[in-house]
Amino acid sequence: MLICAVCARPAAAKPEAGAAKPAPAKPAEGAPAKNATEPAKPAAPEAHFDIDEFRVEGADNLPQIEVEAAVYPFLGPNKSAQDVEKARAAVEKAYHDKGLQTVSVGVPQQDAQRGFIVLKVTESRVGRLRVKGSRYFDLKNIKDNAPSLKEGTLPNFQDVTKDIVALNRWADRRITPALRAGVAPGTVDVDLNVEDTLPLHGSVELNNKQSPSTTPLRTSVSMHYDDLWQLGHSMTWTYQFAPMNPKDAMVISGSYLARTEIDWLSVLVYGLVSDSSVATVGGANVVGPGQVVGGRAVLTLPSKGDLFQTLSLGVDYKDFKQSLKLGTDAFDSPVTYVPLVASYGATWQGEGHLTQLNATVTTGLRGIGSSRDEFDAKRFDATASFITLHADISHTQDFAGGFQLYAKLQGQAADQPLVSSEQFSLGGQDTVRGYLESEVLGDYGVAGTLEMRTPNLAQYLQQKLPNPMGEPIKYNAFDEWRFFAFVDGGNARIHEPLTDQQSHFDLASYGVGMRMKALRYFNSIVFVGMPLTSQQATVANHPRFSFRVWGEF
């Protein structure tokens, strides 16, 4: 009918040649002028239709109840294309919320008046997995430790994140996944880009961690390799000695850390042999050679945000063949015992702060090792069935301008008198500076440190020092350079002191120092500590200079 009506319409008359064209009609006087252009026609009304059902095709990896929950709000009469788009986005979001980021949902062309809408799900699986850039680590091993990206699987990025975090626990490599459209249609190809370094490391250190009545210098050499058998196993060897007199201190230690197929479990075994002599006040020399062998199961606990935790459980075998010499007489007091050890460690690192906590419970096993009399000969009233708790907590806080505040609190509690190898030691670079190492021993005690640090001057030099061309220098030999001031203090006490035996010791000091790291590999710490109380080998208000210098690779 529409076509017929158009055909029946009369043709417009054509003016004859040469005839004057009619003058254009003018609006009547006072009538409003007509716009030069006609007003735009209103847009066609949006089509509406009823949606009684959504048919979602290809939703193989999302439970039906979750698909129904996603589209349910968009069912009903008088719906539009906007509702269809919202339903499509809701299904896609349900996939993505479960970690299935390679899934897309589309709306194929269809007749919306049928009462149902078809949504098509495309689940892009891994087509090809490649490892690129690895120089020192086995490619197959890396692939095998990323099962969430195995070829043919639909990658769940919650699992992918766990696999990548586990792969990046190895200190000498960093792995970053990269996804792109696959060569085969409907797939994604994944590259595991590896940045790695040789997993061989070592260090050489010289310091003056001197214990009472010994020569001042100590040297330590350490080596470790962290990818034995291409399994990530680690072996470490350390040799410590006194270069001016090897009899003052000599310790050889080694350890082996094995990763297991359970990604949160590792096994550590270690051993230590010590041959050293320490002369004490009064002309008595304590000679303490011995050895320690132990094992630990190391568990990596689930992390919570910025909190990382570990737990270790194990047992030690300790054998100390100590002799006490008084003039020409010698008295042997060897002791052997087997303690159980449980340790917990936590690190909380956030923007501008770092907190670390360590706690260790040690309990001796009665009936294994030396007798009650042998323990009593080494320390009056000591037994093999002791229990100790040793804990420390430290916090580093950044402030405006690059300043830092560092605080540490540590201590030990014990239920009875302890042999010297289990006592709490005070004095030295790790407890109360300004005193000799382990200058006093106690069964229980506490120590604290408060340290204020300047901004990193290495960054300031790099930003401010001009080169001969007048531009900021692009290379700086210093990686870190800070000065610091500190206050240290501690108290140690003993259980059941003998007659005329000192039962408690108080240590306190203050001082200033400097830390520096240069050329990536060289480190140094120097400081002067002023002791405030006199002890066995330290006189109050006599400053003591201490240092550590070491290189590492």
Number of Cβ within a 10 Å radius of residue 279: 16
CA distance 458 to 478: 5
DSSP 341-399: EEEEEEEEEETTEEEEEEEEEEEEEEEEES-HHHHHHHSTT--S--EEEEEEEEEEEE-
**Rounded to the nearest 10 degrees, what angle do helices 81-97 and 64-71 cross at?**
140
What residues in the chain have per-residue pLDDT under 70?
A: 1-44, 277-288, 322-332, 462-475
Query: What pLDDT sits at residue 333?
Result: 76
Return the closest-CA partner of residue 114 out of 47, 51, 45, 46. Answer: 51
Instruction: Indicate the domain borders of the chain.
Output: 49-123, 126-196
Distance CA 315, CA 339 (A): 6
Domain 49-123 bears CATH identifier 3.10.20.310: yes
Q: Tell me the Ramachandran region of residue 402: left when phi exceeds 0, alpha when psi lies from -120 to 50, beta otherwise.
A: left
pTM: 0.78
Largest CA distance in the chain: 150
Residue 1, SS3 per DSSP = coil
8-state DSSP, 37: S
**The CATH number fitting domain 126-196, selected from 3.90.470.20, 3.10.20.310, 3.30.1330.10, 3.40.50.2300:** 3.10.20.310
What's the pLDDT score for residue 282?
34
* Ranges of H-type helices in 18-175: 64-71, 81-97, 139-144, 157-167
Which pLDDT does position 11 carry in this prediction? 37
All residues at 6 or more sequence positions from 402 whose CB lies less than 8 Å from its CB, including other chains: 454, 455, 456, 459
